[in-house]
Amino acid sequence: MQLNALLAALWADFTQLAPHAADIAGRLEARGETVDNDHIALRTFDRCNADLEAIERILLPLGYRCLDEYHFSAKHLRARAYVQPGRPRFFVSELLRKALSPGAQAIVERCVRSLDASLGQRPGQELLHSGLHWPSLEYREYEELARESEYAGWLAAIGLRPNHFTISVNTLTTLPEVADVLDFVQAEGFRINNSGGRIKGTPDQGLVQGSTLADRQPIRFADGVRIVPTGYYEFAKRFADAKGRLYQGFVPASADRIFESTHRS
């Protein structure tokens, strides 16, 4: 039950950030579809009380196991996938702070210092949708971070909240392929992320994905409210390997381009 409560809280928090996701889910349900999640993506800083290991300590007691670890060196990220049969996967990434420039590190350092001060050593599951633990950045600091690392800018401005949810296309009945879902979503008036093509991945790789472009929402900065990209909705279809086993992991090259759904332009 703890997991159901967490998933509900994450969805409630995420749809505040990305109202178009609730809208799309509603339109799919109106077609008679049942919307299941393939995965939920969380972002955090490394080497702090809310880092990847801290999040792992929340997920493992909920029945998850770590499937694999991924590295995105160009984006200075490390990620792990957590799985549990019949449940949405978690894709958790952390920003490798030392890879940033000294200026960017100094901004992020302030966030992490406040975060560590606000958390105990063993934060509870509400950590995953707890938002900002630090004073709001000035808008120019956000811009400076985002120029260097879109991920760092997003995390510092928005905090610990779900970055995206992902619909499992495998369980849809009237839209069998990711391309069908993207066509439907686009026809309903939503914008699609075309970075690296509409469709990322191939059936051979085991995972095909696409996504919307992030909503742009008012976020409070130290010097006023500004409109920034917040959260996007992803669509994933998994394919079986030669032995008939459905692929469970993630494809780094595809995830790399999907990360660009929250790019500012």
The binding site for Ni ion (CB under 5 A) comprises 41, 166, 234
Rg (CA), the chain: 18
CB of 44 to Ni ion, least distance (A): 15
Residue closer to Ni ion, measured from CB, 33 or 234: 234
| Amino acid type, 218 | P
Q: Residues 22, 30: contact at Cβ < 8 Å? A: no
Q: Residues 131, 160: contact at Cβ < 8 Å? A: yes
CB of 164 to Ni ion, least distance (A): 6
Residue closer to Ni ion, measured from CB, 35 or 110: 35
Three-state secondary structure call for residue 89: strand
CB of 227 to Ni ion, least distance (A): 24
CB of 59 to Ni ion, least distance (A): 16
CB of 255 to Ni ion, least distance (A): 6
Count of beta carbons in the 10 Å neighbourhood of residue 23: 17
CB of 14 to Ni ion, least distance (A): 12
Residue closer to Ni ion, measured from CB, 26 or 252: 252
Residue closer to Ni ion, measured from CB, 107 or 181: 181
Residue closer to Ni ion, measured from CB, 13 or 234: 234
Count of beta carbons in the 10 Å neighbourhood of residue 204: 10
CB of 91 to Ni ion, least distance (A): 5
Residue closer to Ni ion, measured from CB, 149 or 166: 166
Count of beta carbons in the 10 Å neighbourhood of residue 15: 19
Residue closer to Ni ion, measured from CB, 37 or 166: 166
Handedness of CA 139, 143, 149, 150 (dihedral sign): positive
Which DSSP letter does residue 246 get?
Answer: B
